Copies of this chain bind each other. A is one copy, B any other.
Amino acid sequence: MPTTELTGCSIIGGETVRGGAGTIHGVDPRTSSVLGPSYHQLGTDQLRIATAAAHEATSSFGNLDPSEHAQFLDKMAENIEAVRDELIERAMAETGLSRDRLQVEHRRTSNQLRLFASVVRRGDHRGVRIDPALPDREPLPRPDIRQRKIPVGPVVVFGASNFPLAFSTAGGDTASALAAGCPVIVKAHNAHPGTGELVGWAVTKAVQECGLHPGVFSLLYGAGSVIGQALVSDPLIKAVGFTGSRDAGTALMRTAAQRTEPIPVYAEMSSINPVIVFDSALDEDMDALAQAFVASVTGSSGQLCTVPGLIFVPEGIKGDAFATAVGRALSTTTGQTMLTEPIATSWTHGVETLASQDNVSLVGQGEPGPNKAAPAPAVYGTDLGTFTGNEALHREIFGAAALLVRYGSVAELKETVARMEGQLTATLHLTEASYDDALELLPVLEQRVGRILVNGWPTGVEVGHAMVHGGPFPATSEGRTTSVGTFAIERFLRPVAYQNLPQELLPEPLRHGNPWHLTQMIEGVITPPDSHR
């Protein structure tokens, strides 16, 4: 199957399957023009082929040795790089995102797969723990007990509209689930169906080239409320990765909780990412700070999970001047095309609701962009009391908008922050003069967020080993994890203990001599493989 020819079909276990439940198509948000081909939506009756194939693939895929497993992830990266140019063209047409932005995202997508390949090759996520037998222990001998983690089974991934590459078909959730050894079924995002298919074939090709079971990967087109819900209900599915809205995420959480066998849903949903500007930060270059804030709010048309939708600024003359600088920085911006017209419309409604609240006034806005999907970026302002008392001011507005809240004392701010919902990030801007104030706030912020930044901006999430892109509900459905970075692999693993198994029956990574050269916890002590050599 040449990757350049789009079929408009789902890919199930390496084969095209034409859905029988109507069609959708890509739309260029810059021009409102329809993009071919039509995509045939699957009905729920067609899903079972995909879930059965994924189920069948579970055992062989989950037991690959580290080198074969890593090669597959590297091959995915290679195949996605091989279709780079057509992929970026198609993604630009389907999302309105700029070439520069999509080039960065394309690189991030393949780098992320290679990073997970390195994790798989090292193998430490297998979490091997060994408590050797103590035959002479009194009053009873201790058996030999060995623990390792195994993949949980087939995972359904729902990609994000705002990252058509790095958080969609072969994005972070797919990469971490495949790295864990779980077959993946992607519910294709209907806002970028062609981009999805191009990536889908790149992955399918990697499955074939590596000689893996074809059920390791499928890409399904269909309505989220129909086939999405049906997939999450399917008894063969063991976990769900999701990035999107709070409403859609909580709907999947409910479905998963109501199954006969409940399963985890890892949903990354809603966050307004507070920025706290301390007084001391306003002694520095205030214009540069305001410009950097506005750049973080308006980049990618504000369509990032970590966009700083809320900024706390001190009351007083310096804070007034900063607010003015924000307004000035905004006035030089122009609306960029949003991902879809409905998303732009939803942004407009969100901003209108914000603007209509008592005690909320405009701080500044930019110019509208070249089409109706490119509204003018805007920042509104209010005071701490109003913000604290009005839940409508705590809602995420997906796009280039923010609320600037003036606060009197750090003590009052602490009260407010303690009562906010869970967030992906919190950012502090300060100099040494405010460290004591920051130390007051940090314990409260830790309880509310997944990542804390100093003197930076939360957008531009680094993909690494230490990253946490998570946080308490509703930022995510499960704050004990991350959806960016290598720690994400833990979501799709489950420990199994083996008691007194003879060497011949033990899984290879647990056998004597540590044949996979893994870091092991021996009697509670973490022991890298080098210690044995």
A residues near B, CB below 8 A? 58-59, 63, 104, 118-119, 122, 124, 129-131, 139-140, 142-143, 145-147, 150, 152-153, 253-254, 257, 261-262, 264, 421-422, 428, 432, 435, 438-439, 442-443, 446-447, 449-456, 460, 462, 464-468, 470, 472-474, 477-482, 486-487, 493-502, 504-505, 519, 521, 523-528
Taking CB as reference atom, which chain B residue is nearest A438? B505
Q: How long is the Cα–Cα vector from A102 to B246 in the complex, in angstroms?
A: 49
**Residues on the B chain within 8 Å of A499, using CB:** 451-454, 456, 462
Instruction: Please state if A450 and B498 are interface contacts (CB–CB under 8 Å).
Output: no
21 A-B Cβ contacts within 8 A?
A: A124-B526, A129-B465, A131-B462, A131-B465, A143-B453, A143-B456, A145-B462, A147-B487, A254-B257, A261-B474, A428-B505, A450-B496, A450-B497, A451-B496, A462-B499, A465-B523, A468-B497, A470-B495, A479-B494, A482-B495, A526-B528
Instruction: Please state if A478 and B131 are interface contacts (CB–CB under 8 Å).
Output: no
Contact pick for A63, options B443, B452, B477, CB 8 Å: B443
**Residues on the B chain within 8 Å of A497, using CB:** 450-452, 466-468, 482
Contact pick for A480, options B257, B264, B464, B482, CB 8 Å: B264
Instruction: Please state if A153 and B447 are interface contacts (CB–CB under 8 Å).
Output: yes
Q: How long is the Cα–Cα vector from A464 to B142 in the complex, in angstroms?
A: 10
Give the Cβ gap from A433 to chain B, nearest Cβ, in Å. Answer: 12
**Residues on the B chain within 8 Å of A493, using CB:** 480
Q: How long is the Cα–Cα vector from A129 to B485 in the complex, in angstroms?
A: 11
Instruction: Please state if B487 and A129 are interface contacts (CB–CB under 8 Å).
Output: yes
A contact face: mostly helix, strand, loop, or mixed: mixed
Give the Cβ gap from A471 to chain B, nearest Cβ, in Å. Answer: 9
Give the Cβ gap from A447 to chain B, nearest Cβ, in Å. Answer: 7
Taking CB as reference atom, which chain B residue is nearest A493? B480
Instruction: Please state if A496 and B466 are interface contacts (CB–CB under 8 Å).
Output: no
Instruction: Please state if A468 and B480 are interface contacts (CB–CB under 8 Å).
Output: no
Give the Cβ gap from A128 to chain B, nearest Cβ, in Å. Answer: 9
**Residues on the B chain within 8 Å of A454, using CB:** 499-502, 505
- Most chain B C-beta atoms within 10 Å of own C-beta, residue among A118, A145, A150: A145
Instruction: Please state if A500 and B119 are interface contacts (CB–CB under 8 Å).
Output: no
Instruction: Please state if A498 and B262 are interface contacts (CB–CB under 8 Å).
Output: no
Instruction: Please state if B494 and A129 are interface contacts (CB–CB under 8 Å).
Output: no
Sample of 20 more A-B contacts, CB < 8 Å, known A261-B472, A261-B473, A264-B478:
A129-B465, A131-B462, A142-B462, A145-B462, A145-B464, A253-B262, A254-B257, A262-B473, A432-B504, A435-B505, A451-B499, A452-B501, A454-B499, A454-B500, A454-B505, A466-B521, A486-B524, A487-B495, A527-B528, A528-B528
**Residues on the B chain within 8 Å of A496, using CB:** 446, 449-452, 468
**Residues on the B chain within 8 Å of A146, using CB:** 466
**Residues on the B chain within 8 Å of A152, using CB:** 479-480
Contact pick for A257, options B257, B482, B500, CB 8 Å: B257
Instruction: Please state if A145 and B466 are interface contacts (CB–CB under 8 Å).
Output: yes
Q: How long is the Cα–Cα vector from A460 to B496 in the complex, in angstroms?
A: 17
Taking CB as reference atom, which chain B residue is nearest A498? B452
**Residues on the B chain within 8 Å of A526, using CB:** 124, 519, 526, 528
Known: A435-B505, A466-B129, A466-B146. A455 touches B500 (CB 8 A): yes
Give the Cβ gap from A475 to chain B, nearest Cβ, in Å. Answer: 11
**Residues on the B chain within 8 Å of A63, using CB:** 443
Instruction: Please state if B450 and A504 are interface contacts (CB–CB under 8 Å).
Output: no
Contact pick for A504, options B435, B477, B494, B498, CB 8 Å: B435
**Residues on the B chain within 8 Å of A519, using CB:** 526
**Residues on the B chain within 8 Å of A451, using CB:** 496-499
**Residues on the B chain within 8 Å of A494, using CB:** 470, 472, 479-480
Known: A452-B496, A526-B124. A468 touches B261 (CB 8 A): no
Give the Cβ gap from A221 to chain B, nearest Cβ, in Å. Answer: 29
Give the Cβ gap from A174 to chain B, nearest Cβ, in Å. Answer: 19
**Residues on the B chain within 8 Å of A264, using CB:** 478, 480
Instruction: Please state if B447 and A58 are interface contacts (CB–CB under 8 Å).
Output: yes
Taking CB as reference atom, which chain B residue is nearest A261? B473
**Residues on the B chain within 8 Å of A453, using CB:** 143, 499-501
